Every structure is written in structure tokens, then in C-alpha cells.
Amino acid sequence: MAKNFHVWNEGWFARSDLGATYNGWQILDATPQERSSGIFQCGPTSLTAIKEGDVDLVYDCPFVFSEVNADRFTWAYDRSTGEKKLIYSETQSIGQNTSTKRVGSYARQDVTGNYKYPEGSAKEREIFRKARGKLNLHILSATAMLPEAEKQISGKFKLEGIPEVGKDVSLVLQLTNLASEQKKLTANMSAWSIVYTGKLIRKVWKNSLKVDLGPKEEKAFPIKISYAEYEQHLTADNMLRATALDITLDNPSITIKVLDQAKVEGSDLLAEKLKLQVPPLKAQQSSQMHFEISPSKDGTKQLLVNFSCDKFQDIKAFETLTVAPN
């Protein structure tokens, strides 16, 4: 099961135990997903070793390599027989957007190229095979496990617009007959509330469609999951999983506007947390709150607003302020 994101740290230092080639950025994970030497720890792992496929080096190189290079498989499980059947595989869904905070701003900086060569390139495949060899894994990739039979039907969900908490979720189910003969099929669909680890929490919606598809024909079917269906079962992660698609719902936005230049007066930006009560809001209604702060230190500061109510939790926004000397 793959999480929708994972966070780790990097530190820059020498690796006298490995040699100068592996000096530089080292990966340290304070929240690893598995044990190493019996306890939950990860690293330091040489970033150079990960990019070059040197997974036989210490520490925890195989695990970190898999975090950015793993293939993803979807299986159909028959509870009555205990049999599993591979129905779908992806080689490019994991390790595609490795990011860090850009120096001097809050913009995203892509560092995927520090961890791996371009996806699908000859060098990337060479490194992948090298890592497999060092780990003595003969069947590791999705391409090695794909069924020989050609696919007969293709089905996928497409999101319509940006999903937002409090609104219906609109999808389009696209079904394509890849064969040269007529196909009659039943599409059984469901949606679950989930947490960021992918764990299923509660089924919120299900439906089925009977479809006739001519040779090479494609059809699209609009699907709607109403707010009433998922309202009581949404987790703090704001995530739903429809079959073959994960949906992350956006929270309502918060806009912070600075009305005057900030000057040094009080303790940093705030002496303590400032709590404001917002009047009740009706559906589709907006609200404005005015407040004052008295900074005590000049320079670039960040004001963070965290909003919670009975419908939404932990909606965050921030504004960067430049505090002038008094």
C-alpha cells in the first residue's frame, strides 16, 4: 500500500565508512514505515548510492531505493479461494515528484533528478537492473509480472473540476473496448473514505452500470458522489478512494491581507496565540475578520492562520510580512 506522500530529511556530511564518492547529501527518515535492525530507524543513506543503484551499502539503501523506484500492483482477491490475480500495474506512479522547499521562498523545488535518472531512460533502466542484481531479486518490476494476454477493456475515472469539501464530487467513468468484437460488461463501482496511508475507513458510495461496447468503442459516463453521502465519514485527511482513483478534497480557502506596514512594538509577531471567534456562516457565505498585531523583531516573518469549525478542521493559510524597524 502506497501513501499519497511521505516526508524525510537530508543532511550534508562525509561518509568515511563508504568513501568520498558517497559524501554529500544523506537521507534520514524520522518516520520510517518499517523496522531496521529491529527498531524504527532509517539512515543515514547516501543519496549518491540511491541514484547509482548501490543498494548493498549501509544504511537502509534497499528501503530508500524502493521509496522512489517501486512499481505498483493492483490485485483482485477471491476470498472464497484465497487466490490473487494481477489486474493492473504501474511503473510511473511512485517517485515522480520528490520535492523540497526552495531556498529563500516557500515555492516547491523539484529534486527528483537527485534521486533517479529520467523515468524510462536507458540509464534509469540500467540502474534498476543493477539494483535488482545486487539484491538478487529476479522478479521485481511490473514489466516482468504483466500477464501475457492483451487487455480487452480499459476503464478509468477522470475528475471534473477541483473537488472541495462541502460540494458534490463529479467524475467521468471512461470505458474503452480494446478488442475487435462486441463486449457486454457490468462496471461495479464504489468509493471509500480513507486516510493518507491508503487504509479504507468507510464505504460512502456504490453503483453499477451495464454497458454495451462495440469494437474499439469508447463511452463516457458522468458520476456524482453527493456531499450528503460522504459528509459524516470523511477523515481529517479529506480523502476519498473511488475504484481506480484517489480523490483529495480541497478545503475552503483563507485569504490574509496586510492593511498597513508592520513595525516593531511587541513580542515577535504575537506574544501568544490569538484566537478569534467567527460568526456562523451559511452555505456559500464568506466572512472577514480584522485584527491587529504588535511585532517586537524586525525582518521577514510569517503569520499563520489555522481555522477549524464543525465541518472543517485545520484549514491553514500563511502570509509573509516584512517588519520594519521602529
pLDDT in tens, the chain (326 residues): 566 678 999 999 999 999 999 999 999 999 888 899 999 999 999 999 999 999 999 999 999 999 999 887 777 777 888 888 877 777 777 888 999 999 988 889 999 999 999 988 999 989 999 998 998 875 545 555 544 446 778 888 899 988 988 899 999 999 898 888 888 888 888 999 998 777 889 999 999 888 888 999 999 999 999 999 999 998 888 888 887 554 455 677 777 777 676 666 554 677 778 888 888 888 888 888 888 888 888 888 888 888 888 877 788 888 888 888 87
Nearest partner of 92 among 199, 2, 192, judged by Cα: 2
* pLDDT reported for residue 141: 52
Distance CA 167, CA 170 (A): 9
Distance CA 46, CA 114 (A): 11
> What distances in angstroms separate CA 325 from CA 3, 265, 296, 298, 301, one per listed residue?
45, 9, 9, 5, 13
* pLDDT reported for residue 76: 76
* pLDDT reported for residue 249: 59
* pLDDT reported for residue 45: 97
* pLDDT reported for residue 230: 93
Amino acid at site 102: R
Is-above-0.75 flag for pTM? no
* pLDDT reported for residue 49: 98
| H helical segments located in the chain | 47-52, 61-69, 112-115, 122-135, 142-145, 227-230
Contact 298, 261 (CB under 8 A): no
Q: How many CB atoms sit inside 10 A of residue 96's CB?
A: 11
Distance CA 57, CA 34 (A): 18
295 burial via Cβ count (<10 Å: 0-12, 13-18, 19+): buried
